């Protein structure tokens, strides 16, 4: 058999494997229309990390249905994370373009600072650019449900496929419900109900506007803020989110 035939067979095998993987993902997502997912890939990786580092698992999560999440936490998270959630088809391309442009400028500035610093003192560690993301709630859910945290073009492509599958097979209301029940809010702390109980000793449905806004502001970096829930930064950002919540359209 020629090398060309071997390569063709390999290409077919890879294509079939890739298609099978996508069908598996689509099947899993379709089941979520009726069945609540018990865990996500990100939660399982965090559980393994905690077990490896500490030898024990400190875990907080409690699934609550859509009606028990409450409107405040929904409005706060949409206002803070994805203002166009009710309208876009899963990906906010304009926001991604703006984020890419900001990151390009930030990287150029960091490179210039590092170049000047290297000339003055070669032993000083280089400064990393502070990059921003533009992932929608649906994209974040796709990543958390099925993917690793690595940043590669292949993983990003798979994230987009999963995002559109979520938007096609599930309602916006269901996407938000699953997201709010599995998003990370601290070390081993997942979901709005567990976060509301941990930080404010109340249920998710009983969160006030300010409390919900403060939780929403934590989401980009919950581990950074979990010990500083009353910080001035969170208070300022929460005030901004609170002001936006009244204009949020819920799915």
Sign of CA dihedral 221, 226, 228, 229: positive
What is the per-residue pLDDT across 112-125, written as a single tens digit (0 to 9) for each?
Answer: 565 555 555 554 44
What is the per-residue pLDDT across 15-34, written as a single tens digit (0 to 9) for each?
Answer: 888 889 999 999 999 999 99
CA distance 54 to 59: 13
Q: Which of these, 182, 211, 177, 183, lies nearest to 197 by C-alpha position?
A: 211
CA distance 24 to 237: 40
CA distance 165 to 174: 13
Go through the domains of the chain in sequence order and give each one's CATH number. Answer: 40-82+171-251 (1.10.3810.10)
**pTM of the predicted model as reported, rounded to 2 decimal places:** 0.84
What is the per-residue pLDDT across 118-168, written as a single tens digit (0 to 9) for each?
Answer: 555 554 444 444 444 568 999 999 999 998 777 788 888 999 999 999 999
């Amino acid at each position: 058999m020629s090398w060309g035939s071997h390569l063709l067979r390999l290409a077919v095998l890879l294509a079939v494997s890739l298609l099978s993987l996508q069908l598996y993902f689509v099947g899993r997502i379709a089941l979520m229309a009726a069945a609540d997912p018990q865990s996500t890939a990100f939660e399982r990786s965090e559980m393994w990390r905690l077990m490896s580092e500490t030898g024990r698992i400190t875990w907080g999560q409690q699934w609550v249905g859509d009606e028990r999440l409450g409107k405040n936490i929904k409005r706060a998270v949409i206002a803070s994370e994805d203002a166009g959630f009710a309208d876009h088809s899963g990906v906010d391309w304009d926001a991604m373009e703006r984020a890419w442009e900001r990151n390009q400028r930030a990287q150029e500035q960091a490179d210039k600072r590092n170049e000047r610093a290297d000339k003055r003192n070669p032993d000083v560690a280089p400064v990393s650019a502070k990059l921003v993301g533009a992932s929608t709630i649906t994209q974040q859910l796709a990543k958390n449900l099925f993917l690793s945290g690595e940043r590669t073009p292949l993983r990003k492509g798979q994230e987009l496929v999963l995002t559109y599958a979520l938007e096609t097979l599930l309602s916006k209301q269901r996407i938000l419900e699953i997201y709010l029940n599995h998003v990370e809010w601290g070390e081993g702390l997942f979901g709005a109900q567990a976060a509301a109980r941990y930080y404010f000793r109340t249920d998710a449905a009983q969160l006030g506007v300010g409390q919900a806004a403060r939780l929403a502001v934590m989401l980009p970096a919950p581990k950074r803020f979990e010990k500083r829930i009353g910080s001035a930064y969170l208070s300022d950002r929460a005030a901004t989110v609170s002001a936006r919540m009244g204009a949020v359209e819920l799915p």
